[in-house]
Structure 1
């Protein structure tokens, strides 16, 4: 890799600046000289040839934009001279042959996980408390405070310490001043239940007063959370009159696992007339406490790496995402698939422009067509409200070099590695095929990570170039920075720095192997991620209909 620029694919007519380059700088590329016509900031792109108005720009070997004006050779591409364009897709056009990476190094490795009755293996052992409707959110919060404080699952964090310090200073008439912050983890294990990794409490704004399909889909997603092997048992709260009825939820759960055998308890507030909410919550506390005793009897035991279920996601992306962290975890994904594991990639709006490649990688025409159908339906739904995939890059994305959705998407797709695609899943569907699965979600960070946990991901890799603190209640989130500056600026949220790839100090393959080593430790309970330490438990359901 050049220390100043990079051509990702030999057919590209755009180069990526790896450091700030001044106007007038002469670049040696492909036995020719290119004089830069503009200042090019690191992560941004410039042309190898002149592109006339309406001409095509290519990156990652695919179409990523049309010129809205003449762009000179060595010129900066930006929103003022390039707009989104992507190639069409027409279904599986050719057979795909995949050469799996060498997995000898990991062939006989294991992780220590929680073996479930359905054959899945969890990397965590959580008790899950969930509402079927938003009306129960207050009760969920009451239960959360009671269990977290009562069982010692939480330590004081530095922000709470500061508030207590200021309160005491004000009460004693002292001048207000902040003390030194600590980085102590918020979440801890309860000494009473050493084999329970935590109690997780979900809240949401769905379940009723909306398109009925959304309430049904909520039940489908929540059933996936219950089937996820990171969950040992569940307490479910219902108001009683909502669309997302307990019986509907039970049907969705049975569809996913007809032999579901984890401890699960249902509580309906309106069913116990006259008893009051306190009696209801007391019953929840008792059954949940009994459940904790039960799942605490489960020990971690060795499992093959093929039992891992990995989700891959990017957020707060920058111009380095597609050349450092994304391809690194793409190699991790290939290693895991080569070992017989399961991988999921979400964010359908960020697969725009690479659909044909992914269709050709599908194991059969049915999978390819299903993916294509979901992409077109998603695009049609966006168009119906005056939006489109071309509006996907955020201001932060654009500022850091992701000018069109196709550029962003082509780099985002690198997270999927190169293995065959075995299935394309709708939101809320559970991944049942080993290998690489496409999971239909929005690009929104929390909607996507929520969806992959519902599809059964037991660990998620999340790359970021700008920094985002996203986590998930049941699926540990590993944060990987695309550049070292971010890792140094926000060390409290970054677990792995992929900046050495940009500097040429490590290869994508070396970094991908390091990530897999980290995953093995995490899956065995030997380490925790920064998001876990911060208690970053983000959950958001994708509501696609109107509120009523």
Structure 2
């Protein structure tokens, strides 16, 4: 970024007030509020701002005729819905969707990431029996049906005060949801729920599990217990409310079951493990005009560092890579992997149409207030979280993420549902970028929240873990902030608590993707 300087009292340097992301772009991004009448010095002469342009929003630096493409990041973000003159605010009033299909190259561009130098980086984790390494040591109360949700919470609430005696146990989490009965287990929806529950049960951050049901639900407790892919050193007990004689009796039995686990779990200790054992989930929410400029590319740099070290990093939110999927398909390790991503995009197009919508219904009102206009613009910024590594695998929702490298999981754009899928797939740390100020937190995998701009970071500092807005402020580079994120990932994986953990978030954010027929 060129900082520039004020030229006169009423003439400012364009490069001091905006960011030009690619030389041929018709728009630049304001890094300060630009009132109508502001005069900007450009290589072509003086540009006068015609209408107010808030920070994070787009300013036209070239004329664009109605129907013409508008570019940002060197990519089309839409077509002009009216003639746009240089100096105008470019947003919903004059920019719409570009429905022209991008050409999808399949596995044509491959990147060799720089190999790590120096000693092998390690973190302090919980080595599990099958070789996986957890970053936390939790007890999970896994519910088969919503009918057992309140009972699960009662058990967790009763046990939590006792944890002061067991400092090496991170918590007791009630995994409650809105389904499990009236759903055919073999249906698509039933299968997704069971895959999600199995993913959490197999998560290396759970040392103990209590499986809790009502007794008459379609998805039975015993069927879950019999098929759980738990690690051999995971402590497992199960209860059904009807068999125990009701809620009060079940709470007593559940508390006793969890308390029996606590001394055994508390005896476990962290030990050094290579960072290649980390599984990183990548997500964003409450995005703004800075997301694709600061936090997302910085997180992409951190992701590349982990992948280069042999770890796994996985991007989600299929509806929010729509329009930018061509940037991922050309990076796929094979044509089959590229086609798998395109198949998920096509599935979402049909799914959205069947629900009476379309994938270009995005961005949200908050995204638009932050400067994002079209789903193309939002997606181009979102894929920056994936860095530059090759795309190694495409996963179904909550499918185990086992292929080393950068992967993609098919998840909705709704943040709690998306992150639930990533954690079910095995993410042991999550990084979540936000510009408007999302307050999401997750368990059992800790979530680092990365602010895209300094103003929001300062306003919501108790909810944020790192300020990536320094990139726009000119006090740090993308690479520098990316390296800070990487170091924070290692620290959090080793036990450092995140802002959301300090606030006790994460239990209510367990939200499995729910769809399908309920009878």
TM-score, normalised via structure 1 length: 0.87
Displacement after TM superposition at 1:94 (Å) = 4.7
- The residue number in structure 2 matching 1:544 is 515
Contact kept? 1:110, 1:303, Cα under 8 Å = yes
Displacement after TM superposition at 1:99 (Å) = 3.6
Counterpart Cα distance in 2 of 1:544 and 1:36: 48
Displacement after TM superposition at 1:544 (Å) = 2.1
When structure 1 is superposed on structure 2, of 202-211 and 405-414 the one drifting more is: 202-211
- The residue number in structure 1 matching 2:166 is 193
Counterpart Cα distance in 1 of 2:114 and 2:291: 22
Counterpart check, 1:132 vs 2:144: yes
- The residue number in structure 2 matching 1:223 is 198
When structure 1 is superposed on structure 2, of 19-28 and 508-517 the one drifting more is: 19-28
- The residue number in structure 2 matching 1:249 is 224
Change (3 A) 1:544 1:241: same
Displacement after TM superposition at 1:276 (Å) = 3.8
The alignment covers a number of residue pairs equal to: 502
Displacement after TM superposition at 1:414 (Å) = 0.9
Contact kept? 1:62, 1:354, Cα under 8 Å = no
Counterpart Cα distance in 1 of 2:100 and 2:278: 34
Counterpart check, 1:285 vs 2:255: yes
Counterpart pick for 1:386 among 353, 356, 359? 356
Displacement after TM superposition at 1:63 (Å) = 1.8
Change (3 A) 1:63 1:128: same
Counterpart Cα distance in 2 of 1:121 and 1:332: 20
Contact kept? 2:107, 2:332, Cα under 8 Å = no
Q: Secondary structure at the match of 1:335?
A: helix
Counterpart Cα distance in 2 of 1:104 and 1:18: 36
Counterpart check, 1:372 vs 2:346: no
- The residue number in structure 2 matching 1:312 is 282
When structure 1 is superposed on structure 2, of 138-147 and 209-218 the one drifting more is: 209-218
Q: Secondary structure at the match of 1:104?
A: coil
Displacement after TM superposition at 1:32 (Å) = 5.4
Displacement after TM superposition at 1:392 (Å) = 1.6
Counterpart Cα distance in 2 of 1:451 and 1:379: 20
Contact kept? 1:84, 1:390, Cα under 8 Å = yes
Counterpart pick for 1:531 among 470, 493, 500? 500
- The residue number in structure 2 matching 1:517 is 487
- The residue number in structure 1 matching 2:130 is 118
Contact kept? 2:451, 2:466, Cα under 8 Å = yes
Counterpart Cα distance in 2 of 1:395 and 1:114: 42
Q: Secondary structure at the match of 2:53?
A: coil
- The residue number in structure 2 matching 1:468 is 438
Counterpart Cα distance in 1 of 2:192 and 2:79: 38
Displacement after TM superposition at 1:248 (Å) = 4.4
Counterpart pick for 2:179 among 197, 206, 222? 206
Unmatched tracts of structure 1, length 5 or more: 152-189
Mapping for residues 263-412 of structure 1, pairs under 5 Å: 263-272=235-244, 275-412=245-382
Counterpart Cα distance in 1 of 2:99 and 2:208: 45
Could you give the per-residue CA deviations for residues 122-143 of structure 1, whole angstroms, max 9, x where no partner exists?
1111111121100001111210
Counterpart Cα distance in 2 of 1:478 and 1:143: 28
Contact kept? 1:206, 1:541, Cα under 8 Å = no
Counterpart check, 1:55 vs 2:89: no
Could you give the per-residue CA deviations for residues 93-148 of structure 1, whole angstroms, max 9, x where no partner exists?
3522214146326x522111000111111111111112110000111121022112
CA RMSD of aligned residues (A): 1.9
- The residue number in structure 2 matching 1:157 is none
Could you give the per-residue CA deviations for residues 250-283 of structure 1, whole angstroms, max 9, x where no partner exists?
56534xx6x65422122223345xx444333333
- The residue number in structure 2 matching 1:178 is none
Displacement after TM superposition at 1:73 (Å) = 2.0
Counterpart Cα distance in 2 of 1:108 and 1:421: 24
Change (3 A) 1:330 1:251: farther
Could you give the per-residue CA deviations for residues 135-165 of structure 1, whole angstroms, max 9, x where no partner exists?
001111210221123x0xxxxxxxxxxxxxx
Counterpart Cα distance in 2 of 1:263 and 1:144: 16
Counterpart Cα distance in 1 of 2:400 and 2:103: 26
Counterpart Cα distance in 1 of 2:359 and 2:93: 18
Contact kept? 1:265, 1:287, Cα under 8 Å = yes
Contact kept? 2:348, 2:359, Cα under 8 Å = no
Could you give the per-residue CA deviations for residues 481-524 of structure 1, whole angstroms, max 9, x where no partner exists?
11111111112101111121111110000001111111221111
Counterpart Cα distance in 2 of 1:528 and 1:367: 36
TM-score, normalised via structure 2 length: 0.92
Q: Secondary structure at the match of 2:90?
A: coil
Contact kept? 2:207, 2:233, Cα under 8 Å = no
Unmatched tracts of structure 2, length 5 or more: 3-15
